[in-house]
């Protein structure tokens, strides 16, 4: 379907060529509702995803501050906590139930709502049509639905925090029997029902979005934009969408079985259970491990759903700001592809200690360690892109370099954890917390920040303030290492995750000061994020205005649109593409945009 | 990476129209069906793992031996479900005919065959409703299993749990397919596709319908044959 046909949904499929000599200045009459609320413009939907993601990031971050307060100061009381949390912090001390609810919701919210919807939702929407040269998504309507399903999921999740028995508190992985039996804990009652409804809505949102991203990347590229001329952002977002479309349905199956176990007396995940105060349950024949398989079949690809968009944006930003072509473009695509395939074949490394057959475990060790190969390819390509580059340290660039740093630091511990023998000691300790927060959480947040700082001029036609951005960056990267580096030592010493109070454990008392230090830094880092939020919202209205079309002197198509692109992105024809996206420093020219035809005397690479 | 040589290899698709020469809606449908295949795959693999980690399982020839209007106690193993399956497969054939008629811009052919497909779908759902109702009367439901294992020992409830969940999920898909086909029928009768100059929507609905039939083949095999 041609690009034109998208904006004229009723028109013929076999329409005119995308480069017909029509003018496409669209002056649809737009009301506040159609422009800002039920918008079908991919750029507005991207902003909706971003701002909803920000709200969740603040809430999820605040939760981590609250439970770090408990871990850092287990003996102190904070009367103000009771005024916020009421019965969940009686006497100014967070109750164990509230602690578990906070940990669970923090995980769910950060993984799904911030780093999946907020990250790939934002940038897939914003960048795919702009960078491939399309007027909008393949189906703008489905795109709008995708956001509103996410919004619905958000509302349900939010409301779960206000039910009397509290939100779900059995960990973001929602393992049965805690998730399957209402009697198992207070949070397993209504809170879990709402959690599951919210997640089901989220799966629908992700499916609608993902199908759209795939169809758009494959079908809507402008003339000349072959797959191997796509910026790496698009490749990464494409693989992200494929991962989502193929892994979320398995989670949905798992959830459907869970709903039946919770409400309709089945025993898919239940067998031989005794609950204190209730007695032995009649359920038999099910398997709690089955849920873990279904969950991690999504759960592992999910970490790449989170990471790949960051990788793609970082590749692009590093190249633009090093004024050098990305090193090993095809190797970058190949490694993204390899990661996407391996993502589906390693899920059982989350389950080494569940009683998994050690032989099967060794297969998963091999497949898991194989991921080190494409990951290392990517890291070396980023480093060689930076090597001898003419580096411009814009805020976006700093965060992109920070991403590479985090990905290396966190990736190396992945090699430890991927070994099933080491995992016997390390599983469910703070070592795991440190590993996945650095490699997936902080790294992807850095990718997201890099993307926001870099594409902010395209989003709002203004720049964000650099000074605030530099403070934001340096405090965040230093803080992130100060928070998570010590956790490696705690984990090696065997300190288990998800414990409420370590001060009563002789073996972990020694970490009391360290825990307090981590909590303190966590609060500082959280506070610094408000600098970013202030910068973001202030700059929408008061930031320095963008005066040139291409402020970063970048090659990609989004910088050929007007400073404030309307719905349809380009006035008049969509530009034709003549080259790949990375002609920086070629033939003595600083950069050559993709729209520039290849000259007769141009050198070959 | 070469910037100039790609222009000299015209066989590689280089923008302007789709690489697979399909319209985006059909591409989306294919990806959706892949996604849905993973949903059913997860269900059926779950069923397989639970079944093979359980000692004993009811014999489908004993469980599914009834027939509507036949006297109680009739022994007609798998006869009824074979008829159901036959109906569904025939409805796939009429769907093919509808798609074919659409490609020839034959409105009358599309209408007739869509109606037959819808009737087939509804007939299948009715059969399923009868079977569920019958099993429920025998005491089977989620969490309740009156049937014994093939070796005469007591059976776990997971036989009925999985049966009702997976055939129910499939039935829900058939139901959605019937709704989609009814919408297609209405759009055909309103000349929507004549105005557009193509019946591509019918092809997409057809893809979905064939997928649902294909899934039934697996569901049928897993629950009735094995």
Q: What is the pLDDT, as a whole number, of residue A189?
A: 92
Cross-chain Cβ contact B50/A248 below 8 Å: no
Task: Answer yes or no: is pLDDT of A604 > 90.
Answer: no
Domain-embedded: residue A435:
yes
Cβ contacts of A598 on chain B, cutoff 8 Å: 3-4, 7
Question: Which of A390-394, A575-579, B41-45, B91-95 is predicted least confidently?
Answer: A575-579
- Residue B20: band (very low, low, confident or very high) from pLDDT cuts 50, 70, 90: low
pLDDT band at B8; cut points 50, 70, 90? very low
Q: Which of B4, B158, B197 sits opposite A267 (nearest CB)?
A: B158
CB < 8 Å to B15, chain A:
133, 221-226, 576-577
Nearest to B165 among A229, A257, A602 (CB): A257
Residues of chain B found within 8 Å of residue A583, distances taken between Cβ atoms: 3
Is the per-residue pLDDT at B12 higher than 50? no
Q: Residue A1: pLDDT above 70? A: no
Give the helix/strand (H/E) hosting A11: none
Contact A246 B38 (CB under 8 A): yes
Chosen for mutation from B3, B169, B176, B203 (greatest number of chain A CBs closer than 10 Å) is B3
> Is position B5 within any domain?
no
Bond from prior residue into A177 cis (ω within 30 degrees of 0) = yes
Which positions 109-148 of B are in contact with A (Cβ < 8 Å)?
142-144
In this predicted model, what pLDDT tens digit does every residue of A65-78 receive, in sequence order?
Answer: 999 999 999 999 99
Q: Which backbone phi and psi does B84 adopt, to 5 degrees?
A: -55, -50
Mean pLDDT within A497-511 = 92
What's residue A11's pLDDT? 37
Chain centroid to Cα A348, Å, comes to 22
CB pairs under 8 A between A and B: 173
Q: In angstroms, what CA-CA distances link A398 with A231, A436, A469?
A: 20, 21, 10
CB contact under 8 A, B27 and A219: yes
Q: Compare CB distances from A245 to B6, B35, B40 and report the shortest one's residue.
A: B35
Summarize the confidence of residues A565-594 as an average pLDDT.
91
A466 domain-assigned: yes
Rounded to the nearest integer, the mean pLDDT of chain A is 92
Residues 6+ apart with CB under 8 A from A588: none
Q: Quick check: B31 contacting A, CB < 8 Å? A: yes
DSSP A603: P
- A115: in domain: yes
Mutate which of B27, B40, B42, B149 to test chain A, going by most A C-beta atoms within 10 A?
B42
Residue A22 domain flag: no
pLDDT of residue A17: 39
Nearest to B198 among A13, A245, A602 (CB): A13
The whole-number pLDDT of residue A28 equals 58
Give the range of the structural domain holding residue B177, as residue numbers without chain letter.
25-225
Q: CB-based contacts of B69: which residues, under 8 Å, 6+ apart?
A: none
Containing domain of residue A334, as a range?
A: 3-9+42-591
Cβ atoms within 10 Å of A161's Cβ, excluding its own: 17
Could you tell me which of A178, A290, A177 has the C-alpha nearest to residue B53? A290
**Percent of chain A whose pLDDT exceeds 90:** 83
Nearest CA to A483 out of A528, A443, A516, A439 is that of A516
From the CA of A229, how many Å to the nearest CA of chain B? 8
Q: B15 pLDDT exceeds 90?
A: no
Inter-chain residue contact B1 with A227, CB threshold 8 Å: no
What span, in angstroms and rounded, lies between the C-alpha atoms of B148 and B127? 24
Quick one: pLDDT at residue B14? 52
Q: What are phi and psi of A591, to 5 degrees?
A: -155, 150
Tokens 């079944």 -> residue: B51
What is the bridge-based pairing of β-strands A584-586 and A279-280? unpaired
pLDDT tens, residue by residue, A73-98: 999 999 999 998 989 999 899 999 99
Count CA atoms within 13 Å of residue A108 on its CB side.
Answer: 29
Residue B52 touches partner A, C-beta closer than 8 Å: no
Please name which of A265, A282, A267, A423 lies closest in space to residue A346, comparing C-alpha atoms. A423
d(CA B203, CA B95) in angstroms, rounded, equals 9
Closest to A12 (Cβ–Cβ): which among B16, B17, B196? B196
What is the helix (H) or strand (E) element at residue A274, kind and residue range? strand A274-275
Evaluate if residue B81 carries a pLDDT over 60.
yes
Question: Which of A20, A206, A209, A253 to substitute to test the interface with B, most B CBs within 10 Å?
Answer: A253
Nearest chain B residue to A211 by CA: give it. Answer: B28
Residue located via tokens 């997409």: B204
Which of B1, B25, B76, B29 lies closest to B210 in space, CA to CA? B29
Contacts of A293 in chain B (CB under 8 A): 49
- Mean pLDDT within A273-296: 91
B165 touches chain A (CB under 8 A): yes
Q: Report the residue of A10, A133, A208, A249 to disrupt the B interface, i.e. the one with the largest count of B CBs within 10 Å.
A: A249
A552: tokens are 């970063």
Q: Residue range A295-304: average pLDDT? A: 95
Task: Confirm whether B172 is domain-assigned.
Answer: yes
- CA A146 centroid distance within chain: 16
Cβ B16–A17 below 8 Å, yes or no? Answer: yes
For residue A94, which of A109, A106, A79 has the smallest C-alpha distance? Answer: A79
Joined together, the tokens standing for residue A252 give 């949905």
Percent of chain B with pLDDT over 90: 77
Q: How confident is the model at residue B23 (pLDDT cuts 50, 70, 90)?
A: confident
A256 close to B169: Cβ distance less than 8 angstroms: yes
pLDDT-derived band at B130, boundaries 50, 70, 90: very high
**Is there a contact between B198 and A223 if contact means CB atoms under 8 Å apart?**
no
Q: In which band, very low, low, confident or very high, does the pLDDT at A48 lie, cut at 50, 70 and 90?
A: very high
Mean pLDDT of A545-564: 95
Q: pTM value?
A: 0.92
Confidence of residue B226 (pLDDT cuts 50, 70, 90): confident
Instruction: Look at chain A and count its residues.
Output: 605
Burial of A540 by CB count in 10 Å (0-12 exposed, 13-18 middle, 19+ buried)?
middle
> If pLDDT is split at 50, 70 and 90, which confidence band does B46 have?
very high
Mean pLDDT of A546-568: 94
B9 — pLDDT class (breaks 50, 70, 90): very low
Centre a 10 Å sphere on the Cβ of residue A584 and count the other Cβ atoms it contains.
Answer: 23
In the predicted structure, residue A14 carries a pLDDT above the cut 60: no
Domain of B166, CATH number, reads 1.20.120.80
Gap between the Cα atoms of B164 and B208, Å rounded: 22
pLDDT of res. A325: 95
C-alpha to C-alpha distance for A569 and A557, rounded to whole angstroms: 10
pLDDT value at residue A27: 53
- pLDDT of residue B72 exceeding 80, the answer is no
Residue of B nearest to A221 (CA): B15
DSSP per residue over chain B, as a string? --SSGGGG-TTS--SSS-TTS--HHHHHHHHHHHHHHHHHHHHHHHHHHHHHTSS----HHHHT---TTSPTT---TTHHHHHHHHHHHHHHHHHHHHHHHHHTT-HHHHHHHHHHHHHHHHHHHHHHHHHHHHHHHTT-BTTB--PBPTTSSBPPTHHHHHHHHHHHHHHHHHHHHHHHHHHHHHHHHTTHHHHHT--HHHHHHHHHHHHHHHHHHHHHIIIII-
Q: Tell me, what's the ipTM?
A: 0.90
Compute the distance between CA of residue A600 and CA of residue A427 in angstroms, rounded to an integer.
60
Tell whether the model's pLDDT for residue B204 goes beyond 90.
yes
pLDDT for A93 equals 92
Question: In A329-367, which positions are buried (b, 16+ CB within 10 angstroms) versus exposed (e)?
Answer: bebbbebbebbbebbbbbbbbbbbeeebeeeebeebbeb
Over A77-125, what HEC string results?
CCHHHHHHHHHHHHHHCCCHHHHHHHHHHHHHHHHHHHHHHHHHHHHHH
Distance between CA atoms of B172 and B180, rounded to whole angstroms?
12
Q: Name which of A56-60, B175-179, B195-199 the model is least confident about.
A: B195-199
Sign of CA dihedral B129, B132, B137, B141: negative
**From the CA of B61, how many Å to the nearest CA of chain A?**
22
The answer to whether B169 contacts chain A (CB < 8 Å) is: yes
- B12 domain-assigned: no
Task: Tell me whether residue A15 is in a domain.
Answer: no
Average of per-residue pLDDT across A572-590: 91
Question: Is B197 near chain A, with CB under 8 Å?
Answer: yes
Question: Across chain B, what does the average pLDDT equal?
Answer: 89
CA A486/CA A480 separation, integer angstroms? 11
Count the domains in chain B.
1
Question: What CATH number has the domain bearing residue A304?
Answer: 1.20.210.10
* B46, closest residue in chain A (CA to CA): A290
DSSP state of A325: P
Question: Mind giving me the DSSP string for A408-442?
Answer: HHHHHHHHHHTSHHHHHHHTTBHHHHHHHIIIIII
Picking from A204, A226, A327 by the largest number of B CB atoms within 10 A of its own CB, the best residue to mutate is: A226
Residues of A with Cβ-Cβ distance to B8 under 8 angstroms: none
Domain count, chain A: 1
């Amino acid at each position: 379907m041609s690009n034109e046909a998208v904006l004229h949904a009723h028109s013929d499929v076999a329409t005119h060529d995308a480069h017909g000599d029509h003018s496409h200045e669209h002056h649809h009459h737009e009301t506040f509702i159609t422009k800002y609320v039920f918008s079908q413009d991919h750029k507005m939907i991207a902003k909706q995803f971003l701002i909803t993601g920000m709200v969740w990031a603040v809430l999820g971050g605040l939760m981590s501050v609250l439970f770090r307060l408990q871990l850092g100061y287990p003996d102190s009381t904070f009367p103000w906590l009771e005024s916020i949390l009421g019965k969940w912090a009686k006497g100014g001390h967070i109750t164990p139930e509230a602690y578990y609810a906070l940990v669970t919701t923090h995980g769910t919210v950060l993984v799904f709502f911030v780093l999946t919807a907020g990250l790939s939702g934002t940038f897939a929407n914003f960048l795919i049509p702009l960078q491939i040269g399309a007027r909008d998504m393949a189906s703008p309507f489905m795109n709008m639905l995708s956001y509103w399903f996410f919004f619905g999921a958000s509302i349900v999740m939010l409301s779960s925090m206000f039910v009397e028995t509290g939100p779900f508190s059995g960990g973001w992985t929602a393992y049965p029997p805690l998730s399957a039996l209402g009697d198992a804990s207070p949070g397993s009652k209504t809170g879990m029902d709402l959690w599951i409804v919210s997640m089901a809505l989220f799966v629908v949102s992700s499916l609608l979005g993902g199908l759209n991203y795939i169809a758009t990347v494959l079908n809507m590229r402008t003339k000349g934009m072959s797959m191997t001329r796509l910026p790496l952002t698009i490749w990464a977002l494409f693989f992200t969408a494929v991962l989502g479309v193929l892994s979320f349905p398995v989670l949905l199956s798992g959830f459907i079985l869970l709903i039946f176990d919770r409400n309709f007396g089945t025993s898919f995940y239940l067998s031989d259970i005794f609950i204190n105060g209730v007695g032995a349950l009649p359920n038999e024949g099910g398997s709690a491990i089955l849920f873990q398989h279904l969950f991690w079949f999504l759960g592992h690809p999910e970490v790449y759903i989170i990471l790949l968009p960051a990788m793609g944006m970082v590749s692009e930003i590093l190249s633009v700001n090093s004024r050098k072509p990305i090193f090993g473009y095809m190797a970058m695509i190949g490694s993204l592809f390899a990661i996407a395939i391996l993502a589906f074949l390693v899920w059982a490394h989350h389950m080494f200690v569940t009683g998994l057959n050690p032989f099967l475990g060794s297969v998963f060790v091999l497949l898991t360690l194989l991921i080190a190969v494409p990951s290392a390819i990517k890291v070396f390509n980023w480093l060689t892109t930076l090597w001898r580059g003419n580096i411009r340290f814009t805020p976006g660039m700093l965060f992109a370099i920070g991403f590479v740093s985090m990905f290396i630091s966190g990736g190396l511990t992945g090699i430890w954890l991927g070994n099933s023998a080491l995992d016997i000691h390390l599983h469910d300790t703070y070592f795991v917390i440190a590993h996945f927060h650095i490699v997936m959480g902080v790294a992807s947040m850095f990718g997201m920040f890099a993307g926001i700082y870099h594409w902010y001029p395209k989003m709002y036609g203004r720049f964000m303030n650099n000074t605030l951005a530099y403070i934001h960056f340096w405090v965040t990267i230093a803080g992130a290492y100060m928070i998570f580096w010590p956790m490696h030592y705690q984990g090696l010493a065997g300190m288990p995750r998800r414990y409420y109070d370590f001060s009563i454990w002789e073996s972990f008392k020694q970490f009391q000061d360290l825990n307090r230090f981590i909590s303190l830094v966590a609060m500082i880092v959280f506070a610094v994020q408000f600098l970013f939020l202030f910068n973001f919202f202030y700059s929408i209205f008061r930031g320095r205005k963008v005066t040139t079309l291409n402020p970063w002197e970048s090659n990609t198509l989004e910088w050929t649109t007007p400073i404030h692109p309307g719905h349809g992105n380009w006035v008049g024809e969509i530009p034709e593409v003549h080259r790949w996206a990375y002609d920086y420093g070629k033939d003595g020219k600083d950069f050559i945009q993709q729209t520039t035809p290849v000259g007769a005397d141009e050198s070959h690479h | 990476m070469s910037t100039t040589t790609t222009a000299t290899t015209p066989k590689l698709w280089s923008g302007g129209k789709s690489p697979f020469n399909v319209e985006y809606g059909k591409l989306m449908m294919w990806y959706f069906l892949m996604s849905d295949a993973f949903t059913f795959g997860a269900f059926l693999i779950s069923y397989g793992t639970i079944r093979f980690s359980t000692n004993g399982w009811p014999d489908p020839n004993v469980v599914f031996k009834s027939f509507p209007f036949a006297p109680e106690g009739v022994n007609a193993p798998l006869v009824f479900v074979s008829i159901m399956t036959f109906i569904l497969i025939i409805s796939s054939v009429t769907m093919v005919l509808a798609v074919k008629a659409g490609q020839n811009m034959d409105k009358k052919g599309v209408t007739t065959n869509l109606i037959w497909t819808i009737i087939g779908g509804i007939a299948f759902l009715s059969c399923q409703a009868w079977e569920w109702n019958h099993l429920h009367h025998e005491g089977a439901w989620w969490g309740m299993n009156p049937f014994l294992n093939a070796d005469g020992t007591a059976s776990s409830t997971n036989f009925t749990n999985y049966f009702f969940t997976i055939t129910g999920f499939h039935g829900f898909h058939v139901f959605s397919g019937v709704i989609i086909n009814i919408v297609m029928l209405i759009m055909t009768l309103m000349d929507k596709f004549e105005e557009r100059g193509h019946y591509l929507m019918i092809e997409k609905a057809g893809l979905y319908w064939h997928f649902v039939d294909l899934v039934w083949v697996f569901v049928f095999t897993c629950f009735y044959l094995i």
